[in-house]
Structure 1
Amino acid sequence: MNFDGNTNTPVVNEDISEHLFPTSRARILLIEDDPEIAEEVTNELVDRAYVVEHVATGPQGGEEARRGRYDLLIIDLLLPGCDGFSIIQDLRRDGIQMPVLVVSALGAVNDRVRGLKVGGDDYVTKPFALPELVARVEALLRRPLDTRATTLRVGPLELDLIERVAKREGRTIELSKSEFKLLEYFMRRPDRVVTRDMLLEDVWHYRFLPQTNLVDVHIGRLRRKIDGPNEEPLLLSVRGMGFYFREPN
């Protein structure tokens, strides 16, 4: 691990970050039987640094969704072997909570409602524009998996969302309101690179991103509080990319 010579900030070089932290790239499972659509979607997502696994049939897709560790599922509804409605419903019944983006030619209102009711998180009707699909993928990946949890734990760090208290191995950490929101955001996304633009938009709700050092100032304050002098750093900077909240092995 390297440190910035001026700030003593733990830094990960951009050119080696993928090897140190392979889970920072979101893994997506695509269940789509149309080979042309599958190829276009896969190429677009891979170009944007996502890891994509494609399956063409319903039964194989359901098995892969259970077997693999994916951050997002993109699924068609009209599939060989079994329909997408059944796959989503079965995954939710089995407790698999990864976000699901439904992509289907079934554009009627009742189909869209049904797709969401069985457990889909978003719905795109074919034909669609790839930039729209990517935007919906990004939005779903930013969404916390379990907003109902009252306590978050990542490595030695614990965040009580009810009492609004942070602790690290018994040490209570005093946080401002902004620092608490920032830490919650990171702890809901461990082992994933988070950009400054994401933080400005999702934590501070800036739609038009200003030129500001707001993020860096708050990151510095938060890092000094959660990473004590003799403690292993949890909040790292990824050079040229953003920040990374590391879950120790």
Structure 2
Amino acid sequence: MTAARTPRRGASPKGHLLVVDDEPTVRDLLPAALRYAGFDVDVAADGAQALAMAARRPPDLVLLDVMLPDIDGFEVIRQLRAQPRRTGGRSGGDVPVLFVTARETKEDRITGLTLGGDDYITKPFDLEELIARIHAVLRRTMGEPSTALVVGALELDPEGHLVTRAGQPVRLSPTEFRLLHFLMANAELTMSKAQILENVWRYDFDGDPSIVDTYISYLRRKVDRVEPKLLHTVHGIGYVLREPRT
């Protein structure tokens, strides 16, 4: 993660975030990047400070490390969730929490989510993915309208350029992302190779049309690694993305 510039003067914040981390580098660079992305950011270096700040000014989202110098992040969220819920406004009891931590075992993830965490991402992380996850949590918890496309357990967020299946990130190249976006936007409809070329590769494409088959194969390896399969061939016509018919 690299440092980001200060946000444009006068830009309206997208939400109030509290970053809780004891690493000085993270406390410097991450808030700077989030402010540049348009967020209002407070920073805490340990659990006690985080709890005091959340009680004094409840944030819209807490980005919480697990390994802190006093109490760990799991105890922080326990104490947050134990705070009385406030009528007509946020309190620690209902503030969303996104764990951002080097603790990456399955047991740690389960603990964090079981205690009331809304998401869990491990270090080192991709900044764009983190910001996309922040937007996703805020949409769920603040009633923001979602532009995400959803087919079964497959979800594509065009704003955050993020794809997940059953909650797990799916990493795609730009062309794979455009192809999946087009198929999901036209879910249940069979798209011919000509339609796909026109909308994904645009009008200036003059290469081999079999490139569509190649990229469908790439997508299947990444999107359809689990059941049920969503990408289907309609022989003699093209391709369709849909849930299996019963």
TM-score by length of 2: 0.51
SS in 2 for 1:132: helix
| CA–CA distance in structure 2, aligned partners of residues 65 and 17 of structure 1 | 25
Deviations 1:14-58 (A, max 9, x none): x9986xxx6x63000011111111222111110111000011011
* Change in 2 beyond 3 A, CA 1:199/1:89: closer
Q: Which residue of 2 aligns with 1:109?
A: 106
Match of 1:201 among 148, 163, 169: 148
Q: Percent of counterpart pairs with the same letter?
A: 35
Shift of 1:83: 0.7
Q: Which residue of 1 aligns with 2:173?
A: none
Match of 1:136 among 128, 133, 137: 133
| CA–CA distance in structure 1, aligned partners of residues 49 and 42 of structure 2 | 12
Contact 2:139-2:146 within 8 A present in 1 as well: no
Deviations 1:178-204 (A, max 9, x none): xxxxxxxxxx35xxxxxxxx554379x
Q: Which has the higher Rg, Structure 1 or Structure 2? A: 2
* One-letter amino acid of the structure 1 residue matched with residue 133 of structure 2: R
Please report the RMSD computed on the Cα atoms of aligned residues, expressed in angstroms.
3.0
Match of 1:60 among 49, 55, 67: 49
| CA–CA distance in structure 2, aligned partners of residues 57 and 85 of structure 1 | 12
| CA–CA distance in structure 2, aligned partners of residues 120 and 202 of structure 1 | 24
* One-letter amino acid of the structure 2 residue matched with residue 120 of structure 1: G
TM-score by length of 1: 0.51
The structure whose RCO (Cα within 8 Å, separation 6+) is larger is: 1
| CA–CA distance in structure 2, aligned partners of residues 138 and 39 of structure 1 | 21
Deviations 1:109-148 (A, max 9, x none): 0011001111111001111111111111111111135xxx
Aligned length: 143
| CA–CA distance in structure 1, aligned partners of residues 149 and 54 of structure 2 | 28
| CA–CA distance in structure 2, aligned partners of residues 114 and 57 of structure 1 | 20
Q: Which residue of 2 aligns with 1:166?
A: none
Q: Which residue of 2 aligns with 1:26?
A: 15
Shift of 1:61: 0.7
* One-letter amino acid of the structure 1 residue matched with residue 148 of structure 2: E
Q: Which residue of 1 aligns with 2:122?
A: 125
Contact 2:31-2:41 within 8 A present in 1 as well: yes
Deviating 4+ runs (over 2 angstroms): 15-18, 198-203, 205-209
| CA–CA distance in structure 2, aligned partners of residues 129 and 17 of structure 1 | 27
* Change in 2 beyond 3 A, CA 1:130/1:99: same
The alignment status of 1:73 with 2:70, answered yes or no, reads: no
* Change in 2 beyond 3 A, CA 1:16/1:56: closer
Structure 1 regions of 5+ residues with no counterpart? 1-14, 146-187, 190-197, 210-249
| CA–CA distance in structure 1, aligned partners of residues 140 and 106 of structure 2 | 24
* Change in 2 beyond 3 A, CA 1:16/1:30: closer
* Change in 2 beyond 3 A, CA 1:123/1:82: same
Shift of 1:90: 1.1
Structure 2 regions of 5+ residues with no counterpart? 1-7, 86-92, 159-180, 183-246
Match of 2:24 among 22, 31, 35: 35
* Change in 2 beyond 3 A, CA 1:79/1:200: closer
* Change in 2 beyond 3 A, CA 1:82/1:26: same
* Change in 2 beyond 3 A, CA 1:105/1:138: same
